[in-house]
Structure 1
C-alpha cells in the first residue's frame, strides 16, 4: 500500500478521535497502542502525532505525546481569538440560511464550524480561513459540551447565520461572551465526558 494513503487514514483517524474528545485532556498518546487501534505501523502514527503537535491538537510531552490540558485561561483565549478573527472578516449580507438548520443533519459543533468557516471565507484571506479552521478543530470537543450546557445553540447559530451586517458584530460578541462566562462549566463537561 502507498504510504500517503496510510498516513492520511491514520492522521484523519487520530484527528477525529481528538476532535470528538475520545481521549481525556492530559492522556498519554502511545504510538504503539494507537498503531494497533488504527491497524497501521508505528511510523505513520508517529508522523501524524508530530503533525497534530504542529497543529496544537497534541502536546509533545518529554519523549511522548499527550492530549493537551485545557485550562480556563486557555479556553477563554481560544474563544476570544475566534471572535477577533470573525470580527475581522467582512460580512456582506447574510450567509445562506440553509447553512444552519434547527437541528440535524449536523451537531452543534459541526454547524458552528460551518458557520464560522463561512464567515472566515468571506475575508478572502487564506491565512484567516486556515486559522479559523484550526480553531474549529481545537474547540470541537468543547462545543459538544456547549450543546448540553446551553440547550438553545441551534437557535443561536441560526440567528447568527441570518443576521444583517450591522447586527452580526453584536451577535458574535454575545455568542462568545456567553461561552467565556461558562468556561468553568464547559471544561467540567469536557473533562467528565471521558472519565
Structure 2
C-alpha cells in the first residue's frame, strides 16, 4: 500500500502539532499528507542505511508511515516547535529501523554471528578532522559487512544502547560491542584508503 496525496489541498498554515492533533482526534487525511510529505525524505534516509534495495526501501517507508499513523495516539507529544520536531523524528526513525531489521531478519541475509568476545578486538580511536559529505559517509558505511553496518547504525546513528541492540538482534550485548568496535576499525581503514591517499 502506498500513500498518495496529490489530490488534497495544501494548507500553508499546517504545523506538525496541528497535524498530529487532527490525525489523532479526527483521523484527518490532510494531517497525514502533511506528515508524509514533510518526513518522507527523512524516513527514506533512515531506511536506506539498512536496506540497499530501492523497492524494499520504498515498501518500508510506506510501512513506517502506516504503522506511525495507526499508533499516533501512543506518541508522547512533549514540547512544541523544535523539541516536538526532534522527538517525532526520533520516534519515526525507531519505527523505520525496527521494520528494516524485521525485513533483514525475514530475509535471513545477515551473516551468522561468530562467537566473539570483546577481548578479541582492540579499541580504535577515530579522529577524522576532515568534513565529509553525507554521501561519502554512506559510501563508507556500505563497505561494512551487513551485521557491522546494522549495529553501527543502531548504536551511533539511532542511539540504541547495546542492551537494546542485543534484544533486537538476539545476541549478547558484548557481541554488539565487539561488532561496533570492528565496524569503527573497518571505517577507519576505509576512510584512510579513500580520503587520506594522495594528501
**TM-score (normalised: structure 1):** 0.28
Greater relative contact order structure (CA < 8 Å, 6+ sep)? 1
Return the index of the structure with the highest Cα Rg.
Answer: 2
